[in-house]
Structure 1
Amino acid sequence: MATEQKAEGTEQTNGDNPDVGFVEKVEAKYHELRQHAETYPYVWASYTVVYGGLGLWFAYRWRKLRKTEDRVRVLQERLRQLAQAEESTSSSSSVPPKLDKPPK
């Protein structure tokens, strides 16, 4: 009987404002998780270690990938500049430059 009245009371609040029901659900879930964390601290510590370690590893790999991409971009730009310089020198003089051979 008491649960029926309680259910009717929550339906009335949910009917007026749908956000109120959402906030209540979030708060109830938060309290449930908090109680579980206080009851089983070693389980939550292991979650923290495992997922924290994975997060750190992904962050490390992501940063390393970004640094590699930056180095590749710099090398590509340098290669592009060398190709343009070589192209401009070959187009400005139609005669190929003489190569001086060292005396033997």
Structure 2
Amino acid sequence: MGLAIAAKPKGEDILQETDCQQETRPTCVGWGEKIEEQYQKTKEHAKTYPYVWGSYILVYGGFGLWLTYRWRKLHRTEDRVRGLQERLRKLVEAEQSRNSSALTEQSTNSASVTNKAPSDADKVIK
């Protein structure tokens, strides 16, 4: 067998290699033709095996519905959390403004008490 391969002229080997390379190339040239060919293959397969395609639709359709359900539930939860965070932020701001106004009022009261002139009752007789 090794002798038969070695006995072939080199030109025939090159010719056979180029024939193999040409056979492996796809016959379609453009993208549109490739897509059309794949569509025809898929359509023929779907007509030949309808139960297989029905199961694909059932399984992947159910999976898609479940993902859609979970996605919507997640977004509803996020919206609810954002609303609660906004309410909490407003409550904290209101509490801080009340505390700062009360603190300011106390500081003005204490300042007015210390700056006030002693009254007659406050005077001590020496």
Say whether residues 1:88 and 2:90 are aligned partners: no
Relative to the length of structure 2, the TM-score reads 0.60
Tell me, yes or no, if structure 1 residue 23 matches structure 2 residue 43.
no
Partner of 2:110: none
Structure 1: state its 5+ residue gaps. Answer: 15-20, 96-104
* Identity in percent: 57
1:98 match: none
After TM superposition, the structure 1 = structure 2 runs for residues 2-21 of structure 1, keeping only pairs within 5 Å, are: 14=29, 21=30
- TM norm structure 1: 0.72
Residue of structure 2 in register with 1:71 after alignment: 80
Q: Does 1:45 align with 2:51?
A: no
Deviation at 1:22, TM superposition (A): 1.3
Counting matched residue pairs gives 81
In structure 2, the residue matched to 1:54 is: 63
* Cα deviation, residue 72, structure 1: 0.2
Q: Which one has a bigger Cα radius of gyration?
A: 2
* Distance in 2, Cα, partners of 1:23 & 1:86: 66
User: Where does structure 1 differ by over 6 angstroms across 4 or more consecutive aligned residues?
Assistant: none
Which whole-Å CA distance do the structure 1 matches of 2:55 and 2:95 have between them?
A: 60
CA distance in 2, matches of 1:78, 1:25: 57
Q: CA RMSD in A?
A: 2.1
In the alignment, structure 2 segments of 5+ residues that lack a partner are 1-18, 107-126
